[in-house]
Structures are given as structure tokens and as C-alpha cells.
Amino acid sequence: MTVAVSRTRGRFAPSPSGPLHFGSLVAAVGSYLQAKSGDANSQWLVRIEDIDTPRTVPGAASEILRTLEQFGLYWDETEVYQSQRLDFYQHHFQQLQANQQIYPCQCSRARIAELGGVYDGFCRQHPLIDPTQPLAWRMKSQQVHNYFDDAVFGRVQIDAATAQEDYIIKRRDGLFAYQLVVVLDDVDQQITEVVRGADLLTMTPRQQALFQLYVPQVPKYAHLPLAVSAPGQKLSKQNHATDIRAWPLSVSLAAALRLLGHPPPAELVEESCEVILQWARQHWQLSAVPAVMEVQVDAFR
């Protein structure tokens, strides 16, 4: 991959496991504003993360794209589908294999559960491979840092065992894992700003380490609060009070901006999404986004 980064490039990377819900609207709006409130040449891309085919719902990707357009969140360049990039992933997988940066693993889920859920690197030292059984591939992660600097949260410390876990990059069912493809795509698409939900905070050091195998300069990472209905509970799709399809678009957009610490002035709330977004582009500052993991959302007003 040859990379020449010269301008701001952000992205929104939804997994099409259902329609766009309020939680992903927050990530879409935050990543859009962070990309688009900067220089005039900045770009915001959309990447459909449909690598996990068993979780992909037919029609969800086009519904998400249509909803983004309805909100006035227009993206640059043609949207990218991970399901169409398997050769690219395979090429890089083979390179990691050739460089011995990954190793095969057949440890069972039960064994990993006994370890408390964090893999202990057993197969790195003792590859006990049964050629009749499927295997997963894991990344060697001993060098991964247990902290990183986030543009919203500041320095984030991660439990060292989690940060340095040899994580799966190719699954036992043969699918490439999110952890690998998200980074290959961010490198390939020359992303300079990764803005997404705080549920991915703990994954960031490993993604940055993988990134640095390809380019020295990692993007800026900014994590946004998650919308929850109760502590620890992501908004459910059944919750009508926060279903974006149940509200005028501008009401959901204003609610997303409030969650992101940018409440639109009262006189704008009845305006179109275009007008609200224009205001938001002028006023966007990552420093105003609350550095909290979750924000409880009961209803939009």
C-alpha cells in the first residue's frame, strides 16, 4: 500500500446488521462533523463493514445509505463494501503469514473461557494443529501499548492483558475478522480521523499497532459517548421513544448533537437537517464532546 496523506479524511463504518439507529446516527454525525468542519478539501467516506456475513441483514446497507442521505449526511467518493475486498485482505493476510506475524490457533472457546476470556498466547509457543479441524489465525501482540491518546478522552489506559492479547484476524469459519480489515481499510483509504463509539476504546491500541506495520503515522482517534437506555444497555431497536424512524429527522439530528455536547439553538430545532448541519459544522469542537462512556437517552424531548 502506498500512502500519501495530505488532507483530512474521516469515515463512518457501519455494520449493516439492521437499519441506522440512534447510536449509529451519533457516530455518523460525529465523524461527519469532525471531517467536514476542518479544511475545505476534507472528505468524509462511508464504508459498509459487511465482512461478518452471518450478521449482515440483506437490504440494511442500502437502507443505512438512504437514511444518511435523508439527514443530509452526504459522503465523498463511492461507498466501499468490505465484502467486495476479499482479495485485498487475502493478499495482506498472506504477507502477515510470510512475515510470521500471525500464527494458527485451535484453542477451544471453553479453554479461553477458563482463562477468563483473554487468550494466553498458548499456540504461539505450542502449535498443536490438527489438520482435520478448522483453525483461526491470531496476531502476535506482545508489543502493543496498554494506552493511547484519544482526542476526546485524553490518555486512555487499557488493561495490559487485553491490550496485548493475541487477537483473531482470521476466524475459524474462514472469515477475516473486523480487527484486521478495519485497519487495512483505514490505511488503504488514507483515513486521518477515526471517530466512532466508545465501545471500541479498548481495541484502539491493537489497531494502532497494526496500522504502524503499514504507515508510521496513525490517524487521530476520537471516541464518542454511547447512547444507552440504562447503564450498560445500548439503545434497543424496540425502544420506540428513541427510534429515529418515529421522529422527524431534525428532531433526531438535534438529539444526536445534544448528546455530542453541541445543542443547537432553540430557533434551529424546527429547521431542516441541512440548516442544522450547517450550524453544527460551524460550531463543532471535539473539546465540547463529553468524555463519558455513556449518555442515557430516554426520549428525544
Q: Which residues contribute to the site for ligand GLU (CB under 6 A)?
A: 13-15, 49, 182, 196, 200
H helical segments located in 15-128:
22-36, 60-70, 86-98, 109-114, 122-125
Smaller CB separation from ligand GLU, 15 or 252:
15
Smaller CB separation from ligand GLU, 82 or 250:
82
Least distance (Å) between residue 157 CB and ligand GLU = 20
Beta strands 102-105 and 136-139, pairing class: antiparallel
Least distance (Å) between residue 111 CB and ligand GLU = 27
The C-alpha angle 168, 149, 281, rounded to 5 degrees, equals 105
Least distance (Å) between residue 281 CB and ligand GLU = 21
Smaller CB separation from ligand GLU, 49 or 150:
49
Smaller CB separation from ligand GLU, 15 or 34:
15
Q: Cα separation of 240 and 246, whole Å? A: 7
C-beta neighbour count of 228 within 10 angstroms: 18
Cell numbers placing 85: 475486498
Structural contact between residues 261 and 289, judged by C-beta atoms closer than 8 angstroms: yes
Beta strands (DSSP E) in 207-287 are 220-224, 226-230, 233-234
C-beta neighbour count of 267 within 10 angstroms: 7
Tell me the residue number closest to ligand GLU, measured at CB: 196
Least distance (Å) between residue 52 CB and ligand GLU = 9
Residue type, 17: S
Least distance (Å) between residue 15 CB and ligand GLU = 4
Smaller CB separation from ligand GLU, 135 or 191:
191
Q: Cα separation of 27 and 196, whole Å? A: 5
- The residue behind cell 482463562 is 115
The C-alpha angle 239, 240, 243, rounded to 5 degrees, equals 90
C-beta neighbour count of 199 within 10 angstroms: 15
Q: How many residues can be counted in the chain?
A: 301
Least distance (Å) between residue 194 CB and ligand GLU = 6
Smaller CB separation from ligand GLU, 55 or 245:
55
Least distance (Å) between residue 156 CB and ligand GLU = 15
Least distance (Å) between residue 57 CB and ligand GLU = 13
Q: Cα separation of 271 and 253, whole Å? A: 11
The C-alpha angle 69, 80, 34, rounded to 5 degrees, equals 60
Smaller CB separation from ligand GLU, 56 or 164:
56
Smaller CB separation from ligand GLU, 123 or 184:
184
